C-alpha cells in the first residue's frame, strides 16, 4: 500500500513542478505588467488611505508614472520589433513568391529549350541525310553527261542495226547465189550424166 501511495504521489509532484515552471515563465514574461500593476495598487492604496500624506501620494504617483513610461517604452520597442518581424515576414513571403515564380519560369524555359533541342536534332539529322544524298548525287554523272552517253549508245545501236541489216541482206544474196550455183551444178551434172 505504501509503494502504491508513493507511485500516486510522484505524478502529483511532477504536475506541480510543471505548473510551477509555467507559472514562473508567465511571471518572467509579464514581469513589467505585474510590476506596473503593483505600482498602481500601491498608488491606489496611498490615495484611499487617510493616513497617507500628500508627499507619500506624490511619491507613489511619480513611481507609477515612471513605471508606466517604462512599460510604454517596452510596448513601443515590442511594437517596433513586431513591425520589423512583420516586414521581414512580408519580405520573406515576397522573396519566396519571387523564387517560386523564377523556378516556374525556369521550368518553362527548360521545357522550351528541350523542345528546341529535339527540333534542332531532327533538323540536324535531316541536314546530314541531305548532305549524304548530295554527296551520292555528286558522285553520279551529270544529266548532260548521261544524255551524251545515252545518245552515243543509241547511235552505236543504230549503227549495229544497220550493220546487221546489211549483213542479213548480204547473207540473203549469198544464199541466193549458192542456191543458183547448186542448181546450175545440178543441171550440169544431169547434162554430164546424159552425155555418157
Q: What is the domain extent for residue 192?
A: 145-196
pLDDT for 21 equals 63
* Statement to judge: residues 6 and 103 lie in one domain: yes
The per-residue pLDDT for range 41-64, each reduced to its tens digit, is 877 887 787 777 888 788 888 888
Mean pLDDT on 8-28? 55
Q: Which residues, other chains included, contact 56 with Cβ-Cβ below 8 Å and sequence gap of 6+?
A: 46
- What is the pTM for the complete model shown? 0.40
For the chain, what is the domain count? 2
* Statement to judge: residues 132 and 153 lie in one domain: no
Mean pLDDT on 153-166? 91
Q: Does position 139 have pLDDT exceeding 90, yes or no?
A: no
pLDDT for 195 equals 74
* Statement to judge: residues 189 and 165 lie in one domain: yes
State the DSSP string of 4-66.
HHHHHHHHHHHHHHHHHHHHHHHHHHTHHHHHHHHHHHHHHHHHH-TT--HHHHHHHHHHHHH
* Statement to judge: residues 130 and 43 lie in one domain: yes
| 64 vs 92: which has the higher pLDDT | 92
Query: Cα 76 to the chain's mean position, in Å?
Result: 49
* Statement to judge: residues 155 and 134 lie in one domain: no
Q: Does position 182 have pLDDT exceeding 70, yes or no?
A: yes
Q: Residue 140 gets which letter from DSSP?
A: S
pLDDT for 196 equals 66
* Statement to judge: residues 114 and 168 lie in one domain: no
Band (160; pLDDT cuts 50, 70, 90): very high
* Statement to judge: residues 94 and 121 lie in one domain: yes
* Statement to judge: residues 71 and 123 lie in one domain: yes
pLDDT for 54 equals 81
Mean pLDDT on 113-117? 95
Band (28; pLDDT cuts 50, 70, 90): low
* Statement to judge: residues 64 and 135 lie in one domain: yes
* Statement to judge: residues 153 and 126 lie in one domain: no
* Statement to judge: residues 61 and 153 lie in one domain: no
* Domain end (from 119, 140, 161): 140
Q: Are 63 and 42 in contact (CB under 8 A)?
A: yes
Mean pLDDT on 165-189? 87
* Statement to judge: residues 174 and 102 lie in one domain: no
Amino acid at each position: 500500500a505504501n509503494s502504491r501511495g508513493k507511485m500516486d504521489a510522484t505524478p502529483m509532484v511532477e504536475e506541480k513542478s510543471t505548473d510551477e515552471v509555467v507559472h514562473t515563465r508567465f511571471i518572467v514574461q509579464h514581469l513589467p505588467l505585474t510590476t506596473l500593476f503593483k505600482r498602481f495598487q500601491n498608488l491606489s492604496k496611498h490615495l484611499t488611505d487617510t493616513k497617507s500624506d500628500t508627499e507619500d501620494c506624490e511619491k507613489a504617483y511619480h513611481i507609477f508614472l515612471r513605471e508606466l513610461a517604462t512599460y510604454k517604452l517596452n510596448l513601443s520597442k515590442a511594437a517596433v520589433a513586431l513591425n520589423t518581424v512583420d516586414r521581414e515576414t512580408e519580405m520573406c513571403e515576397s522573396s519566396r513568391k519571387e523564387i517560386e515564380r523564377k523556378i516556374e519560369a525556369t521550368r518553362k524555359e527548360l521545357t522550351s529549350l528541350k523542345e528546341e533541342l529535339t527540333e534542332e536534332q531532327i533538323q540536324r539529322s535531316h541536314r546530314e541525310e541531305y548532305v549524304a544524298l548530295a554527296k551520292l548525287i555528286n558522285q553520279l554523272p551529270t544529266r548532260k553527261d548521261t544524255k551524251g552517253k545515252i545518245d552515243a549508245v543509241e547511235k552505236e545501236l543504230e549503227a549495229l542495226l544497220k550493220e546487221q541489216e546489211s549483213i542479213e541482206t548480204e547473207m540473203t544474196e549469198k544464199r541466193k547465189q549458192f542456191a543458183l550455183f547448186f542448181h546450175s551444178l545440178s543441171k550440169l551434172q544431169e547434162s554430164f550424166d546424159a552425155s555418157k
